[in-house]
């Protein structure tokens, strides 16, 4: 079974650092982009960024670039979302999701999110 399992809920103070994890199984982790999506309380989905684990090629939304980092460890099929200094406005559920490849005869590109993790609730409060 293809699945993504995320780390558990976190409660942090403003200014603290945090790294949350997303472990993939049941598929070739290195050869699929994997991404992160934010959902603030009562709000919609926000696309944060994606990483290609094989070469760590990373693409960010301008709204998140510089505030979070995305990385991956292929030896344990795990992707990471990391903050060096949390803000109260980072309080949200964070989902990781596998990106399916959309292919034409000429090329393949990153597409929709086809497998989702269960989400990690991050609460930042003083």
Partner 1 sequence: EIVLTQSPGTLSLSPGERATLSCRASQSVSNSYVAWYQQRPGQAPRLLIYGASSRATGIPDRFSGYGSGTDFTLIISRLEPEDFAVYYCQQYGSPPPYTFGQGTTLEIK
**What residues make contact with partner 1 under the rule CB under 8 A?**
37, 44-47, 49-50, 59-63, 95, 97, 100, 102, 104, 109-114, 116-119
User: Which one, 44 or 66, has the nearer CB to partner 1?
Assistant: 44
29 versus 60: smaller Cβ distance to partner 1: 60
In sequence order, the 6+-apart residues with CB closer than 8 A to the CB of 103 are: 109
Q: What is the dihedral of CA 61, 47, 91, 120, to 10 degrees?
A: -130
> In the structure encoding, which two tokens stand for residue 73, read together?
């460890």
Helices (H), the chain: none
Q: Which two tokens stand for residue 119?
A: 């989400």
Identify the residue whose tokens are 């293809």: 2
CB of 94 to partner 1, least distance (A): 11
Question: Measured from the CB atom, is 86 or 99 closer to partner 1?
Answer: 99
Which C-beta is closer to partner 1: that of 43 or that of 87? 43
Shortest CB 96 distance to partner 1, Å: 10
Please report which helix (H) or strand (E) contains residue 114, including its range. Answer: strand 108-116
Least gap, CB of 2 to partner 1 (angstroms): 10
Beta carbon of residue 99, minimum distance to partner 1 (angstroms, whole number) = 9
């Amino acid at each position: 079974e293809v699945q993504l399992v995320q780390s558990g809920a976190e409660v942090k103070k403003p200014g603290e650092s945090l790294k949350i994890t997303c472990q993939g199984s049941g598929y070739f982790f290195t050869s699929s982009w994997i991404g992160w999506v934010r959902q603030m309380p009562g709000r919609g989905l926000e696309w944060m960024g994606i990483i290609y684990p094989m070469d760590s090629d990373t693409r960010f939304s301008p709204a998140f670039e510089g505030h979070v980092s995305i990385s991956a460890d292929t030896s344990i099929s795990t992707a990471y979302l990391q903050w060096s200094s949390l803000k109260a406005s980072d309080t949200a559920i964070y989902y990781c999701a596998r990106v399916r490849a959309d292919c034409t005869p000429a090329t393949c590109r990153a597409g929709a999110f086809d497998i989702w993790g269960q989400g990690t609730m991050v609460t930042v409060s003083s």
